[in-house]
Amino acid sequence: MVALTLPRPGDNGHRVRVLVHAVNRQRALTRLRNLGLRAVYLRGNTEPPTPDEVTAVLHHPDGLVWRETPDDDTESWHPIRALLRSA
């Protein structure tokens, strides 16, 4: 599982938290790049996933979710398609 905080596509200044369930880090990056997020890179593990984030991504059928406010636990997780549609 990989957790990233990325700039929101098509929106300057806003950031989103993206969770990817994959066998390893390279596969997680490949999943994101295949969706069109080509400029995503992993540099260390500065913001590791929390236990709640691990639970959220493991229980989602796609294994790829995001939310607008990374620190707001009251906001629900959204499927990645919703983020890409809004770009």
pLDDT, tens only, 10-55: 777 788 888 999 988 889 888 988 888 777 776 666 678 888 888 8
**What is the mean pLDDT of the segment spanning 70-81?**
81
Which pTM was predicted? 0.81
Give exposure, 44-73, as e/b (b: 16+ Cβ within 10 Å): eeeeebeeebeebbeebeebbbbbeebeee
**Residue 64 — very low, low, confident or very high, per pLDDT cuts 50/70/90?**
very high
pLDDT at 77 over 80: yes
Please state, in angstroms and rounded to a whole number, the distance separating the CA atoms of residues 5 and 80: 13
**What is the mean pLDDT of the segment spanning 56-81?**
84
Determine contact, residues 70/16, Cβ cutoff 8 Å. yes
Question: Range of 71's domain?
Answer: 2-86
Q: Where are the beta strands (DSSP E) in the chain?
A: 2-7, 15-20, 64-67, 78-79
- The pLDDT value given to residue 62: 85
Number of domains the chain is built from: 1
